[in-house]
Amino acid sequence: MKSAVIVLCLLASVATAAAEVTVGAARTGEYVPGLRGKRVALFSNHTGMVGDRHTLDIMLENGLDVVTLFSPEHGFRGTADAGEHVGSGVDEPTGIPIASLYDGTGKRIPAPEVMNGLDVIVVDIQDVGLRYYTYYCTMIDLMNAAAQYGKEVVVLDRPNPNGMYVDGPVLDMTYQSGVGRLPIPVVHGMTLGELARMAVGEGWLRNGATVPLKVVPCLDYTHQTRYRLPVAPSPNLRSMLSIYLYPSICYFEATPVSLGRGTDKPFEIYGHPDMKNRDFEFTPRSVPGAKNPPQLNVLCHGVDLSGLDEEEVIAKGINLEYLIDAYGDVGGENFFRSFFEKLIGRGDIRAMIESGKSADEIKATWADDVKRFRARRAPYLIYPE
């Protein structure tokens, strides 16, 4: 009974800590004065909220000259499918031009006329702390553009909901892509502000360039804070459990196995028509945010992870048991697509799975990566571990 009371007290303290976090965008006194008189471009989306107010509205109310909005994957209002082309346009509530960085051209860099029309890029967006989550990739692209055109960058920092640990192989830059920009592990455990500092400090911007960078930190946040996101960061990450499972489930994107897009439990289930002896079944449908999901309208047999305990999922970190389980049933030489290497970040892990290696054996191969990265990132951390 005593241990249960201790656990409840710990959970209560974690929840309180999360509730008391102040995001960088709320600290107007730390950034508004420095932006006055400058032409501001804001990189944000629907997650750029302070309570019930968007950072864009806060900036405009403070008299800042916001001339451009940069939109990432899923668009400025966060409604587009994963990877869907999002056109440029105008933000209807404010009339400010939107320059899409996900318009299908593949350049992911603003046009010269856009860059010449601004002085500073402000970043305020909720990342989830995974190397293949594209919001940080877009931030790095904008930092490269800022370096090229001699512009400033200000990051209004937000907590990393997966910031409590580091796990996964460091990206072999042979597999650098739109879902992997930097030589970091799958779970890097850093906020966008910390990652921006590291990108500059380690010379990771294009040609080792640098950029004037200011980070407005969160208050009352540590890397062990269980920060519960007030807004879903993208259409198919709808719960904290899905965000905690994301480091383990996303690899199904490179296979024929459904991870639940087109259902009410994306990233909390997985299945395929050929998986055997399974009690759980689901059928993906075309829905907003998942218009053409894998195995559309096909009955899938699989596994429901939605009842897992969040803390147990966090404690396991990246868990390849789910992928290995599905491979054991579906298998075959066409199970993995080339996208798998871009997600996992190394060229040898596919063969390990195909040869029957266990999840623990595979995880052991990147233990040294994690240790070295933790030491390398230490100078750039803003918050206690």
Predicted confidence (pLDDT) per residue in 339-348, tens digit: 999 999 999 9
Are 172 and 217 part of one and the same domain?
yes
On whether residue 363 sits in a domain, the answer given is no
In this structure, are 220 and 245 located in the same domain?
Answer: no
Q: Residue 281 and residue 287: Cα distance in Å, rounded?
A: 18
> What is residue 303's predicted lDDT score, i.e. its pLDDT?
98
**pLDDT value of position 10:** 35
Question: In this structure, are 149 and 207 located in the same domain?
Answer: yes
Domain check: are 176 and 267 in the same one? no
Is the pLDDT confidence value at 275 over 70? yes
CB proximity list for 194: less than 8 A, separation 6 or greater:
157, 215, 377, 380, 381, 382, 383
Tell me the pLDDT tens digit for each residue of 1-44: 333 333 333 333 344 344 589 999 999 999 999 999 999 999 99
Range of the domain at 73: 18-229
Q: Which residues contact 247 (CB under 8 A, 6 or more apart)?
A: 130, 162, 167, 168, 186, 187, 317, 318
Provide the pLDDT for residue 289.
Answer: 86
Identify the CA nearest to 319 among candidates 354, 359, 353, 355: 359
User: What integer pLDDT is reported at residue 3 of this predicted model?
Assistant: 35
Separation of alpha carbons 241 and 362, rounded Å? 24
Indicate the residue among 168, 202, 229 that finishes a domain: 229
Is 2 part of any domain? no
131 inside domain: yes
Same domain, 344 and 204: no
CA 58, CA 56: separation in Å to the nearest integer? 5
Query: What does the alpha-carbon distance between residue 190 and residue 330 come to, in Å, rounded to a whole number?
Result: 35
Q: Are 343 and 250 in contact (CB under 8 A)?
A: yes
Question: Of 176, 206, 229, which residue is a domain's last?
Answer: 229
Q: What is the mean pLDDT of residues 199-210?
A: 97
The pLDDT value recorded for residue 140 is 96
Measured CA angle at 344 (ends 342, 348), to 5 deg: 95
Q: Are residues 180 and 313 in the same domain?
A: no
- Domain-located, residue 222: yes
- Statement to judge: residues 244 and 219 lie in one domain: no
Question: With pLDDT > 70 as the criterion, what percentage of the chain qualifies?
Answer: 89
What is the C-alpha separation between 136 and 41, in angstroms, rounded?
Answer: 17
Q: Is residue 184 part of a domain?
A: yes
- pLDDT of residue 253 exceeding 70, the answer is yes
Q: Does the residue 370 lie in any domain?
A: no
**What is the model's pLDDT at position 4?**
36
Q: What CA–CA distance (Å, rounded) separates 115 from 81?
A: 27
Q: Tell me, yes or no, whether 224 and 294 share the same domain.
A: no
Q: Do 172 and 255 sit in the same domain of this protein?
A: no
Specify whether the CB–CB gap between 40 and 239 falls below 8 A. no
The verdict on 46 and 130 lying in the same domain is yes
For residue 182, give both structure tokens. 């930097």
The pLDDT value given to residue 113: 94
- The residue among 189, 210, 229 that closes a domain is 229
Instruction: Specify the CATH number for the domain of residue 79.
Output: 3.40.50.12170
Assess if residue 1 is contained within a domain.
Answer: no
Asked whether residue 385 is assigned to any structural domain, the reply reads no
Residues 199 and 250 in one domain: no
Considering the entire predicted model, what is its pTM? 0.91
Q: Are residues 255 and 215 in the same domain?
A: no
The CA-based angle 71-73-75, given to 5 degrees, is 50
Res 261: pLDDT: 97
Total of domains in the chain: 2
Q: What is the pLDDT of residues 132-177, one digit of tens each?
A: 999 999 999 999 999 999 999 999 999 999 999 999 999 999 999 9
Q: For 67-110, what is each residue's pLDDT tens digit?
A: 999 988 656 754 445 545 456 688 888 999 998 886 555 567 89
Distances from the Cα of 138 to the Cαs of 9, 57, 125, 262, 323, in angstroms? 39, 22, 11, 26, 28
